[in-house]
A and B are shown apart, each in its own frame.
Chain A
Amino acid sequence: GAGVSQSPSNKVTEKGKDVELRCDPISGHTALYWYRQSLGQGLEFLIYFQGNSAPDKSGLPSDRFSAERTGGSVSTLTIQRTQQEDSAVYLCASSLLGQNSYNEQFFGPGTRLTVL
């Protein structure tokens, strides 16, 4: 594919429902990142994957948030029992990690989540 893709592009859900957001990274990229972009809050780091493992989960805001990555490729971010404060744009990025320290992240278009 040409770049990082995310689905759905928009999601409207009711408070208390679970949602699943998907990210398809650039083929061959070993690192994958999830961020949350809230109005007026900037870019908030959520979780990072190296391959299928997540060495840093410190950014997940609560235990309602979880993420997984399978096959070193697709990742899903799941939010259980959504709350109105979860409304935001969720961004995914991937990067090619190697011995070269240059590590540009390529971002997807984001999923806009609205919790009513």
Chain B
Amino acid sequence: EPEVTQTPSHQVTQMGQEVILRCVPISNHLYFYWYRQILGQKVEFLVSFYNNEISEKSEIFDDQFSVERPDGSNFTLKIRSTKLEDSAMYFCASSFGADTGELFFGEGSRLTVL
């Protein structure tokens, strides 16, 4: 069964460092998303991406965040200068359409900022 895969599963970084989280969405899906879940809190929407551009982004997705689909298969989230409060589980998701909310999530990348 096709699935969304994410790497790394866990990354530890120093505050101020750049981090890139990688995702391979399901191959025939057209919409791609990043969500995050800070420990003990709810899953929060960060950004959606369609047709090689950002469709929607939340208030969390400020200038230190960027997304890219560099080669037609990978979908990356870059955090330019990490802060302590960026520590969270980051989930990539994809969907074929955008009108039902049925997303397929990866297993997540845990980011720990020290």
Q: Do the two chains bind? A: no
